[in-house]
Structure 1
Amino acid sequence: MSQNKPKSRKNQPEKKRISRKTVAAIGVVIVVCIVAAAGLLLMRQGTPSPAPSGNATNSFATAGAFYCTSVDLAYAGDYNEALQDADLALAQNVSSLTPIIQSNRAGILVELGRYNDAIDAADVAINTPGNVTTLKTIAWYWKARALQALNRPADAAVAFANASALDPTHQIIPDHL
């Protein structure tokens, strides 16, 4: 007579959990990309020509589209093109998107070796008012990486600590401090 025993949890591999803040940040990026894609789709399907640059909805959709393309290009390793699209997104002057675009730009600029520019971009995101913790965590991280590359280990350690303090679920371990 065989007995069916439930498997012990000890024998099952432990699953890593994704923090709520990470899920929220991903959600924001997805929403921005969807809105931007919908705006571009509507423009391509024969809607009237784009409104003057004062149209906030059009500017938001255009900035969002450039931002999403910039993220995709950065993930693909095409940092020069990614930077161009991030700059085009900023040129739309959508203040609500500026912090997320600048945080992304900071990472792109670090990858391009433009460390002082990366610090400036990260500072824009870091100094954004409001509760944008995940965005600021990412900006602090890229600022730390830029400071590290500029051989400023003490400043980099402070920036890494600020990133970890904002989001303790993301323990950031500096590479070469």
Structure 2
Amino acid sequence: MSQTSGKSRKTQPEKKKISRKAVIAIGIVFVICIAAIAGVVLTKQGPFGAGAPVNTSANTTPSFTSAGALYTKSVDLANAGNYNDALAAADEALAQNVSSLTPLIQSNRAGILVELGRYNDAIAAADVAINTPGNLTTLRSIAWYNKANALQALGRSEEANAAYANATALDPTLKHP
């Protein structure tokens, strides 16, 4: 009969993988948070920033408000799994031509297009968000992740791995699946 020593063995917890849908959901939540913050800031500063001349024409604020509402509708529809209607709402938001919202909308569209199997379109949408100048770290990380998912689905593994690495470098919570 063997005796066990008084020392307890250290066991390492199993690493759990985050599902792709969970990561996409987290990404969409990040994008919603960015949109909410941008909305608060822009509401206080106006759509052109503090100190900038403000165009008081009737089309300026309604377009921003309308595009923001359509973007929010798109996110809600995507979260509900209604990707075709989510894409339609995102496309309507883009048609409002509010340049300050374009990268946000395109990053979201990239995720929707991946879910619809439109991988080349998803890559193009992600590239718009990725290549937009400014301090958009969270938005870019999600766009890189959506681009990586599209590249992976197309069998372009090396490019996908590089895109996942870019996403993780910007946001360590976005791991390669």
**TM-score, normalization: structure 2?**
0.70
Q: Which residue number in structure 2 is paired with residue 173 of structure 1?
A: 176
**Deviation string for 1:86-142 (max 9, x for gaps)?**
000000000000000000000000000000000000000000101100000000000
Q: Which residue number in structure 2 is paired with residue 159 of structure 1?
A: 163
Q: Which residue number in structure 2 is paired with residue 42 of structure 1?
A: none
Offset of 1:29 from its aligned partner?
A: 2.6
Of 68, 71, 74, 1:70 maps to 74
Unaligned runs of 5+ in 2: 1-27, 42-55
Q: Which residue number in structure 1 is paired with residue 50 of structure 2?
A: none
Count matched residues.
Answer: 136
Q: More relative contact order in 1 or in 2 (CA 8 Å, sep 6+)?
A: 2
Q: Distance in 1 between matches of 2:74 and 2:152?
A: 24
Q: Which residue number in structure 2 is paired with residue 116 of structure 1?
A: 120
Amino acid at match of 1:150: L
Q: 1:64 to 1:26 in 2, by over 3 A?
A: closer
Amino acid at match of 1:156: A
Unaligned runs of 5+ in 1: 1-21, 36-50
**TM-score, normalization: structure 1?**
0.70
Q: Distance in 1 between matches of 2:88 and 2:31?
A: 23
Q: Distance in 1 between matches of 2:63 and 2:104?
A: 15
Q: Which residue number in structure 1 is paired with residue 33 of structure 2?
A: 27
1:33–1:68 CA contact under 8 A, matched in 2: no
Q: Distance in 1 between matches of 2:75 and 2:31?
A: 13
| Aligned-residue RMSD, C-alpha | 2.4
